[in-house]
Chain A
């Protein structure tokens, strides 16, 4: 009988992915890195703008767009599918605004209602046309990052093999995201931190908002295939949140989130191999562990550092009654 935890095999977990399996696992790691980087970079701005849960909403609600796009052209990787998902993402943003502005339902409830309805429509479409759609419920939930290396034929440029098409696409999206952030760094920064100042500098906050949403939709759609609808949220939030615990400067935070993305994807593949579970899930688990480490050991905001400071320099002698009061 197979047990829940497979017997640990050093060779299978640590050596093989870098030697004989590099052809497949290498692509998986690289794919994970690109997904987490693109998501993490955009996610930083979501965290700053306190819109983390809008990312949650969009990642759920692109599903009907994907499904309809798929039913129209009957193939994956198509532009139609991509556009459908993009449209669904924008519709979500508009619907949330509409419900929130035109009725007395608060924004949080508006988000919840919008994404759950759209997600439900998506799941129903998929299950109704299950026989026709090469897009099943499992894929929606866990993604299929493992299949990235099976995506033939590999793209090559000038005799040099670049990699599987899915990976090349994701890399392209990542590069575009990096370029956009580099180009509009100032605008994004100012409109995220100080909308008033942004307005006085002539930056259109609405345009920035919808551009960011469009970028988010593009990233989420491209990542969807690899990590599924729900783990995308982790990819969006984890790198930025962990980085925000380590630094207060945006450039450093952006760099750290890329570092987090790289580390969690490489470690995640190994964890996935060790436990024989979904690699996307394992990547997120690794990302969570990294976040937990940052939370514990961050020099400025970490739990340990805070506790240490409290022990070393008690503000009030610990035996007075007031100590208990001030500790809170």
Chain B
């Protein structure tokens, strides 16, 4: 075994202790503290900081824009394959004149990426292997060729300090002026292409059948997008690295996908998230020595995704849970109100308060449960409690809601017996559920359909608009209340 011991390898290649020439421009990082580094970052005086930040922003925009199309076309893992398949191209581009010439690397990587996507296509076309296998095959075999080439380059005397290993996990600090120019050009190209061909991209992404019928050149658009994607991945390599670049395509776009239903808005959000994640990653990796940029960018993007996943206003898990929870609480409140109304109803106008025991009996619950529910009503301003919470008075709001819910229930029962010919003793269960979701519109329609009926199938009175207002007026409410379905 004549292999160099591990620790020596670490020192030579990883740049943890000796920074390679490319990264040395940002100074002797290891001697300064985190705070000083942060200060240096925010003063933007050093060109390397400006380049790193600018580069991260460019890559965020490009990846966000193209990633959105990748995500909606369900090609997320294609991006992963493409990015791994670039490695041999990067190595060959590097070998062209043994330096990190952006143009040579760009050309080599783009060619490797395109070759990879062609091989995936060929395997799918000519064998029984499925897409996932084809993607995995190309990813791993191209990457292996790349690994062989990179280890061969690192064996060369000039290879050690070349910084080619920076392409694996990315180092934004290694971005130079030439790289920035290239990134700006590609970003402009991506923005222009998406603006010009927006309609075509949209149609082929969401309705390929229609796109074909309408005569859109779906194949050409697909390959155009692939080419742009290859460009985006190549420019992101410097900062994020081969291994994680696909995450910058997928994660910001997936987060945006959770937040909006419109493609234009998704594109904006995705590129904003990409920019934010990119800048944050560049900043954090600048703080300490040997911190790779790519993983921090990816982690920032993942945090954004996690937030969108949990707290997205429409599709967020927590938000959905909260909506469900508050809906069931509301239903509970409405059921309590209904019970109170029913108790008052049996008294035929004698007194307007309900005791806790009556409520508990009506709901067939313990008094503790009834007390909890009464308290809940009080908190929502629907009732007031007296005598240590043993006596419940409904507020005008509470009375109105109680009337509304009972009205919904009885109208629906009547509707089912009249219009759907269901026996009167079978309609209660259904009405129990639907009373909570009937909107004002539907209630109006029901009233009309049922010819403003006043009694339900069981012979009980359906509370009218006048009933609802009566108490409201008694309690000094103005007469301008409209409708039944007012809810807190």
B80 nearest CB neighbor, chain A only: A112
Q: Could you say which residues of chain B place their CB within 8 Å of the CB of A130?
A: 10, 14, 16, 290
Looking at the complex, which of B132-140, B175-183, B408-416, B474-482 is the stretch in contact with chain A? Answer: B132-140
Given contacts A111-B77, A282-B148, 11 further A-B contacts (CB under 8 A): A105-B254, A105-B258, A116-B244, A116-B302, A127-B291, A127-B295, A130-B290, A136-B9, A142-B151, A237-B140, A284-B147
Task: Annotate B1-26 by CB proximity to A: 1 below 8 A, 0 otherwise.
Answer: 10100100110011010000000000
10 pairs of A and B residues whose beta carbons are closest in the complex? A234-B140, A116-B247, A284-B144, A281-B147, A288-B141, A120-B295, A117-B302, A120-B298, A112-B250, A109-B76
Query: Counting CB contacts under 8 A, is A280 at the interface?
Result: yes
User: Are A275 and B16 CB-contacts (below 8 A) given A52-B136, A103-B317?
Assistant: no
Query: Counting CB contacts under 8 A, is A97 at the interface?
Result: no
Question: Is the beta-carbon distance between A275 and B136 smaller than 8 angstroms?
Answer: no
Q: Could you say which residues of chain A place their CB within 8 Å of the CB of B437?
A: none
| Assembly CA distance A123 to B14 (angstroms) | 13
User: Are A119 and B244 CB-contacts (below 8 A) given A150-B1, A244-B128?
Assistant: yes
Q: Could you say which residues of chain B place their CB within 8 Å of the CB of A287?
A: 141
Task: Choose from B76, B133, B148, B309 the contact partner of A281 (Cβ within 8 Å).
Answer: B148
Question: Is the beta-carbon distance between B77 and A234 smaller than 8 angstroms?
Answer: no
User: Are A142 and B14 CB-contacts (below 8 A) given A53-B136, A124-B296?
Assistant: no
User: Are A104 and B148 CB-contacts (below 8 A) given A24-B1, A116-B246, A146-B3?
Assistant: no
Query: Counting CB contacts under 8 A, is A301 at the interface?
Result: yes
Question: Is the beta-carbon distance between B147 and A112 smaller than 8 angstroms?
Answer: no
Query: Counting CB contacts under 8 A, is A170 at the interface?
Result: no
A280 nearest CB neighbor, chain B only: B147
Task: Choose from A4, A105, A136 the contact partner of B257 (Cβ within 8 Å).
Answer: A105
Q: Could you say which residues of chain A place their CB within 8 Å of the CB of B298?
A: 116-117, 119-120
Q: Could you say which residues of chain B place their CB within 8 Å of the CB of A121?
A: 295, 299
Within 8 A of A (CB), among B213-266: 243-244, 246-247, 250-251, 253-254, 257-258
| Assembly CA distance A102 to B145 (angstroms) | 38
| Assembly CA distance A304 to B302 (angstroms) | 46
A56 nearest CB neighbor, chain B only: B136
CB of B152, distance to nearest CB on chain A (Å): 5
Give the size category of A's interface with B.
35 or more
Task: Annotate A229-253 by CB proximity to B: 1 below 8 A, 0 otherwise.
Answer: 0110110111011001100000000
CB of B211, distance to nearest CB on chain A (Å): 20
Query: Counting CB contacts under 8 A, is B84 at the interface?
Result: yes
Query: Counting CB contacts under 8 A, is A106 at the interface?
Result: yes
User: Are A278 and B137 CB-contacts (below 8 A) given A104-B257, A120-B299, A130-B290?
Assistant: no
Question: Is the beta-carbon distance between A113 and B136 smaller than 8 angstroms?
Answer: no
CB of B293, distance to nearest CB on chain A (Å): 11
Q: Could you say which residues of chain B place their CB within 8 Å of the CB of A230?
A: 84, 139-140, 143, 147, 243
Task: Choose from A106, A144, A241 the contact partner of B133 (Cβ within 8 Å).
Answer: A241
Question: Is the beta-carbon distance between A233 and B140 smaller than 8 angstroms?
Answer: yes
Query: Counting CB contacts under 8 A, is A255 at the interface?
Result: no
Task: Annotate A48-90 by CB proximity to B: 1 below 8 A, 0 otherwise.
Answer: 0011110110001000000000000000000000000000000
CB of A105, distance to nearest CB on chain B (Å): 5
User: Are A231 and B140 CB-contacts (below 8 A) given A106-B74, A301-B127?
Assistant: yes
Q: Could you say which residues of chain A place their CB within 8 Å of the CB of B141?
A: 234, 238, 284-285, 287-288, 291
Question: Is the beta-carbon distance between B133 and A237 smaller than 8 angstroms?
Answer: yes
Query: Please, could you name 12 A-B residue pairs with CB atoms under 8 Å apart, sorted by A?
Result: A105-B257, A106-B71, A106-B74, A119-B244, A120-B296, A120-B302, A139-B6, A237-B140, A245-B127, A272-B148, A281-B145, A281-B148
A276 nearest CB neighbor, chain B only: B155
CB of B304, distance to nearest CB on chain A (Å): 11
Question: Is the beta-carbon distance between B315 and A278 smaller than 8 angstroms?
Answer: no
Q: Could you say which residues of chain A place their CB within 8 Å of the CB of B165?
A: 137-138
Q: Could you say which residues of chain B place their CB within 8 Å of the CB of A323?
A: none
| Assembly CA distance A277 to B159 (angstroms) | 13
Question: Is the beta-carbon distance between A4 and B76 smaller than 8 angstroms?
Answer: no
Q: Could you say which residues of chain A place their CB within 8 Å of the CB of B135?
A: 52-53
Question: Is the beta-carbon distance between A4 and B130 smaller than 8 angstroms?
Answer: no
A303 nearest CB neighbor, chain B only: B126
Q: Could you say which residues of chain B place their CB within 8 Å of the CB of A108?
A: 74-77
Residues of chain A touching chain B, judged by Cβ–Cβ distance below 8 Å, are 1-2, 4-5, 24, 47, 50-53, 55-56, 60, 99, 102-106, 108-109, 111-113, 116-117, 119-121, 123-124, 127-128, 130-131, 134, 136-139, 141-142, 144, 146-147, 149-150, 230-231, 233-234, 236-238, 240-241, 244-245, 272, 275-278, 280-285, 287-288, 291, 295, 301, 303, 306
> Which has the most chain A C-beta neighbours within 10 Å: B71, B132, B168, B246?
B132
Query: Counting CB contacts under 8 A, is B434 at the interface?
Result: no
Q: Could you say which residues of chain A place their CB within 8 Å of the CB of B148?
A: 272, 275, 277-278, 281-282, 285
Q: Could you say which residues of chain A place their CB within 8 Å of the CB of B152?
A: 4-5, 275-277
Question: Is the beta-carbon distance between B244 and A104 smaller than 8 angstroms?
Answer: no
Q: Could you say which residues of chain B place their CB within 8 Å of the CB of A1?
A: 157
Within 8 A of A (CB), among B87-101: 95
User: Are A281 and B244 CB-contacts (below 8 A) given A53-B135, A56-B139, A108-B74?
Assistant: no
Query: Counting CB contacts under 8 A, is B282 at the interface?
Result: no
Query: Counting CB contacts under 8 A, is B129 at the interface?
Result: yes
Task: Annotate B60-98 by CB proximity to A: 1 below 8 A, 0 otherwise.
Answer: 000000000001001111011000100000000001000
Question: Is the beta-carbon distance between A127 and B292 smaller than 8 angstroms?
Answer: yes
| Assembly CA distance A134 to B7 (angstroms) | 8
Task: Choose from B13, B139, B247 the contact partner of A120 (Cβ within 8 Å).
Answer: B247
User: Are A52 and B132 CB-contacts (below 8 A) given A113-B247, A116-B246?
Assistant: yes
Question: Is the beta-carbon distance between A112 and B246 smaller than 8 angstroms?
Answer: yes
Question: Is the beta-carbon distance between A112 and B1 smaller than 8 angstroms?
Answer: no
CB of A55, distance to nearest CB on chain B (Å): 7
User: Are A278 and B151 CB-contacts (below 8 A) given A108-B74, A109-B76?
Assistant: yes
Query: Counting CB contacts under 8 A, is B431 at the interface?
Result: no
Query: Counting CB contacts under 8 A, is B153 at the interface?
Result: yes
Query: Counting CB contacts under 8 A, is B169 at the interface?
Result: yes
CB of B21, distance to nearest CB on chain A (Å): 19
CB of B104, distance to nearest CB on chain A (Å): 15
Question: Is the beta-carbon distance between A116 and B74 smaller than 8 angstroms?
Answer: no
CB of A327, distance to nearest CB on chain B (Å): 13
| Assembly CA distance A320 to B148 (angstroms) | 49
| Assembly CA distance A284 to B130 (angstroms) | 20
Q: Could you say which residues of chain B place their CB within 8 Å of the CB of A117?
A: 247, 251, 298-299, 302, 305
Query: Counting CB contacts under 8 A, is B438 at the interface?
Result: no
Q: Could you say which residues of chain A place their CB within 8 Å of the CB of B243?
A: 60, 119, 141, 230
Question: Is the beta-carbon distance between A99 and B309 smaller than 8 angstroms?
Answer: yes
Q: Could you say which residues of chain A place their CB within 8 Å of the CB of B155?
A: 2, 276-277
User: Are A111 and B76 CB-contacts (below 8 A) given A234-B141, A288-B141?
Assistant: yes
Query: Counting CB contacts under 8 A, is B294 at the interface?
Result: yes
CB of B386, distance to nearest CB on chain A (Å): 46
Question: Is the beta-carbon distance between B133 and A52 smaller than 8 angstroms?
Answer: yes
| Assembly CA distance A245 to B127 (angstroms) | 7
CB of A77, distance to nearest CB on chain B (Å): 15
CB of A15, distance to nearest CB on chain B (Å): 17
Task: Choose from A131, A142, A241 the contact partner of B129 (Cβ within 8 Å).
Answer: A241
B142 nearest CB neighbor, chain A only: A288
